[in-house]
Amino acid sequence: MDTHEQPVLEVKDLVVRYYVEGSVVEAVNGISFSLYKGKTLGLIGETGAGKTTTALSLLRLVPDPPGVIESGEILYKGKNVLSLPEKEVRQYRGNDVAMIFQDPMSSLNPVMHVGDQIRESIEIHENVSKYEALDRAKRMLESVEIPSSRYYEYPHQFSGGMKQRVVIAMALACSPQVLIADEPTTALDVTIQAQVLDMMRQLIDEYKMSMLMITHDLGVVAEICDFVAIIYAGEIVESGTIEDIFNNTKHPYTIGLFNSLPDLDSPTSRLNAIPGLMPNPSDLPTGCRFHPRCQHATTLCSTEKPHKEDVSATHTVSCWNYKEIERQ
C-alpha cells in the first residue's frame, strides 16, 4: 500500500478475546491494517473469522464482558482510540468513524420517524439549531435518493433497500472520515444490492471518505474495493491491492474461496470445495491455522506458524509454501 501517505486509521497487532464459561475464544489474533483517505479496504472472511469483532473494536464497542481487547493499537489520525476517555470516544463514534450494520431493521427505531432518526444523530454530534438539523436531515434523505416528503414516515413503511439507504444517510449525516460497513448488502436482493452499491460508491467519492467493507462476497469486493485483506481464524492470511488478490492469488485459503464459487462464464461440473470446517476459535490448531484443511500442508505447517512475507511492495501472504502453489 502507498507508504507516502499517512493512513486515516491504522490498526496494529490487535488481539481480542472472549472469556466464556471457562474457555477462551480467540476471536482476533494480531490483526494489522491501514485505511487511506478516499480508499476502500475489503475485509473478507467466513462466519466466525473475526470480521465483526474487528469492526466493533474500531469503535470500542466489543461487549465487555465477555470481550476484552487484550493488546494492540488503533490509531485514528495518530491518536490511540483504545486509551481515549469515554467522553471523547462518544465524539469519535459517529463524528469521526461511523458504522453500517447488516440488518437495517435492527439499526432503526421502529416507533420514530425515519427523518427524525437522522436529525437525532446530527443534533447529538453537532452544535446546530433544531431547524438547521431538520433541514440537513432532509438533504441527507435526498442524497440517498429518498424524497424528503417521506421524512415523517416509519421504518415499516419502507422496503429493505430503502431502510438500508436511511441507515447510510444516518451514518453519513455528520460527514465521518471513516465508514465501517458490515455486510451492508447481504440482506438485500441482487437488483437492490446493485442500486445500493452504486450509491455507496458515489457517496464515497463525493465525501472523500475511507471505508472498511466487511463481507464474505468476493463479487461485492470486486465492485467496490481498492485493497483487500483475507481473514481466517482471526488472522490476516493475505492482503494486497485488489489486483494482487484477484489476479495473483497466493494463499491456499484465498485460492479455495475463489474455487468454491460457481463461475457464471465457464461451466464446471463439480466445485472444488475446501474440505473440512472453520476451526473452533476456542481450540485453534497449532502452526498455520489453515493447515488441517490445506492440501499443500507439510509437517512444518502443523508445527510452526508462517511469517508474513512480502510478495511485492503491496502484497503480503502468510504461508510457508506460497511459492510452490499455483491457482488453477
Partner 1 sequence: MEKTLLEVKNLKKYFSTSAGPLHAVDSISFKLRRGTTLGVVGESGCGKSTLGRLILHLLPVTDGQIFYDGEDITNPNRKKLRLLRRNMQMVFQDPYSSLNPRQTVADIIGEPLVIYKVSESKKDLGIRTRDIMEIVGLPSRYETTYPHELDGGRRQRVGLGRAIALNPQLIVCDEPVSALDVSIQAQILNLLQDLQKQLGLTYLFITHDLSVVKHISDEIMVMYLGVMVEKSPTDDLFKWQLHPYTKALLSAIPQAKLGIKKDRILLRGELSSPINPPNACRFAPRCNYAIDMCYRSNPSLEKVLPDHFVACHRVREINEF
Q: How far is the CB of 213 from partner 1 (least distance, A)?
A: 12
Q: How far is the CB of 38 from partner 1 (least distance, A)?
A: 20
Q: Give the three-class secondary structure for 15.
A: strand
CA-based diameter of the chain, in Å?
A: 68
Nearer Cβ to partner 1, position 210 or 215? Answer: 215
Nearer Cβ to partner 1, position 120 or 217? Answer: 217
How far, in whole angstroms, is CA 242 from its chain's centroid? Answer: 15
Q: How far is the CB of 174 from partner 1 (least distance, A)?
A: 28
Residue 157 DSSP label: G
Determine the residue type at 282: S
Nearer Cβ to partner 1, position 136 or 165? Answer: 165
Binding site for partner 1 (CB under 8 A): 46-47, 159-162, 189-195, 197-198, 216-223, 242-243, 246-247, 256-264, 267-268, 270-275, 277-278
Nearer Cβ to partner 1, position 112 or 261? Answer: 261
Nearer Cβ to partner 1, position 20 or 222? Answer: 222
Q: How far is the CB of 10 from partner 1 (least distance, A)?
A: 27
CA-based torsion, 170, 102, 24, 80: positive or negative:
negative
DSSP bridge pairs for 89: none
Nearer Cβ to partner 1, position 5 or 198? Answer: 198
Q: How far is the CB of 188 from partner 1 (least distance, A)?
A: 9
Phi/psi at 95 (5° precision): -75, -50
Residue 274 DSSP label: P
Q: How far is the CB of 150 from partner 1 (least distance, A)?
A: 13
Which residues are CB-neighbours of 283 under 8 A, at least 6 positions away? none
Q: Give the three-class secondary structure for 100.
A: strand
Determine the residue type at 109: N
